[in-house]
Amino acid sequence: MILIDKPENMTSFGVVARVRRKISEAAGKKVKVGHTGTLDPFATGLLILMSGKMTKKCQEFLKLDKVYEATIRLGTTSTTGDPEGEITEEKVAKAPTLEEVEAAVGRFKGEIEQTLPQFSAVKINGQRAYKLARKGRAVEMPTRKIMIYSIEILDYAFPVLKIRCHVSSGTYVRTLGEDIGKILGTRAYLTALRRLKIGNYDVKDAKTLEDFGVVD
């Protein structure tokens, strides 16, 4: 098991490929390496990798709870819910007060039903949703029940809202940010996302790629 603090603007597969190359060079042979759950390219934080025979256990980690810190920009939308999409400014008549933001955020604590984002790897009629989205095909996305064990406001100064949330597996924090914006009537998207924990594993115990000896 290898705990990596994923850098920004790199895919999870890119991290796996670099670690695989480093381990394989040290072993003098090709070593299998896999991850236990992706992070979007713009996101940073904990990525658990498995190598060798441990790759068979990757699926066991997919169902673990996760803790994230997210930065949400109110009054702006993105076609993907994150910085990688087309950004559009929205007119906001009045900035929400802290009390209004607290009330909106509080509505998402507990079991909720979340509509999966179109820019995701969910399969729709056998095809990945994000591939259909890139072709401009509008599809009705399914919903799923998720659990938000805790959600707290770390900082708020309009238009920037920072939160920390402890969520069940399968939760899309991008969608959570967008939904908070809808409740407030401002619209919103995520400008930053950091995964702090997966189950009992903490990013504090993770190595950066540089620590691991990966030089790009």
Burial 166-182 (b: 16+ CB within 10 A, else e): bbbeebbbbbbbbbbbe
Q: Which of 40, 82, 155, 205 is catalytic?
A: 40
Residue indicated by tokens 């914006």: 181
Rounded Cα distance between 167 and 149, Å, is 6
**Is the CB of residue 139 less than 8 Å from the CB of residue 120?**
no
DSSP 68-113: EEEEEEETEEETTSSTTS-EEE---SSPPPHHHHHHHHHTTSEEEE
Is 65 catalytic? The answer is no
Q: Among all residues, which ones are annotated catalytic?
A: 40
